[in-house]
Copies of this chain bind each other. A is one copy, B any other.
Amino acid sequence: MKGQLFNRRRFIADGSKAVAGITLLSSLTNNTWAYTRKPPRIRFSVISINHPHIYGMIESVIKGGGELVSVYAKEPELVVAFSKKYPQAKPARTYKEILEDHSIQLVLSSGIPADRAPLGIEVMQHGKDFLVDKPGITTLEQLAEVRRVQKETRRSYTIFIERLESSTIPKAGALIKAGAIGKVIQTIGLGPHRINPQSRPAWFFDKKYFGGVITDLASHQFDQFIYFTGSTEVEIIAAQVGNLNHPQYPAFEDFGDVMLKGDKGTGYIRVDWFSPDGLKSFGDGRQTILGTEGYIELRKTVDLSGRQGGDHLFLVNQKENLYIDCSKEPLLFSERFVNDILNRTETAIKQEEVFLAAELGLKAQAKATELKLKG
């Protein structure tokens, strides 16, 4: 195993044209995921690749010790692009071919959102775990069926939400657990996104396919609400959705917000497709966590005050006002997730947390009134 790891490292270093020892080392440390990549411990495949999020998901699983074996997509042009990036992935003729390959332990998917849960159900029924792009479930009926099959098969159904890719959110969680801001009272999660309409396929603009703006974009914020407050019983107090500025796409929603109350904290969530082009990231995502003895603000992708990059954490409590650059914190998901597949544990994320976050999004979407404003 160790030999394999070193071979992989050398391969990457060679590819980056490094020759002398010192250059080799620095090229490795600049390439964190390659440097910390685990040797293959599980075999996985990909079915449906309609959103480029799939690439981040694959990198994460490879880093944790996954070996990418095969790929299937209905769209040949997407398979061609995929194969350029991952020549090791064998294109399958049907998705059933992957489901019936007993050597495959895990399937990843970024299919059209409405198709994800039906696929995941089949994946679990074939004895495999499932890692899916958000939104991982687009209706309450799908959720009920996913829950039923997950319970029956004991396979895992994981939605790849922001917390799993983030060093900042777990850092805030650890600070809170250590008592840095007292008891958490409330969270505010803002998830603006840039729309880039020219880059989007037709399904992107029809909520029948993506499940509505709250179901889709607020997946992350519902998860973080549960994670930071520790709530297990949660009520949607009010929700709104609207298409406020995209009349050319009548089945689209560009704005949504939610007020919610858990047994251990209350919260507000806003998501939208209004990130302007002058912003240095796809969206100025914020998470504020208010406690009885302080608060934390996460600026996840950009700091308007001027710091470079993302992963900014600001903490103010009774004693101090701190800034923590979380881009230096470790990313824990990949290794834990592959461990969980091997050990049948829930160290990366609990199955019930995945389902509760999805459920809250679906309930808020279902409860949402339509927002209309005067011109």
Interface, chain A (partner B; CB < 8 A): 181-183, 185-186, 188, 190, 192, 237-238, 240, 244-245, 255, 257, 259, 261, 263-266, 268, 270, 272, 274, 276-280, 284, 288, 290-295, 297, 303-307, 314, 316-323, 371, 373-374
Contacts and interface: CB of A to CB of B under 8 A. Distances in A.
A133 to B, nearest CB: 26
A322 B305 contact: yes
A276 B294 contact: yes
| Copies of this chain, tallied across the complex | 2
A169 to B, nearest CB: 18
Given A185-B373, A280-B321, A291 B274 contact: yes
A14 B342 CA distance: 81
Given A263-B374, A264-B374, A297-B304, 11 more contacts: A183-B245, A186-B272, A237-B240, A240-B259, A276-B318, A277-B318, A278-B320, A279-B321, A305-B305, A305-B307, A305-B321
A316 B238 contact: no
Contacts of A374: 263-264
Contacts of A272: 185-186, 290
A130 to B, nearest CB: 33
A121 to B, nearest CB: 34
B274 A266 contact: no
A281 B297 CA distance: 16
A223 B322 CA distance: 32
Nearest to A263: B374
A293 to B, nearest CB: 6
B268 A295 contact: no
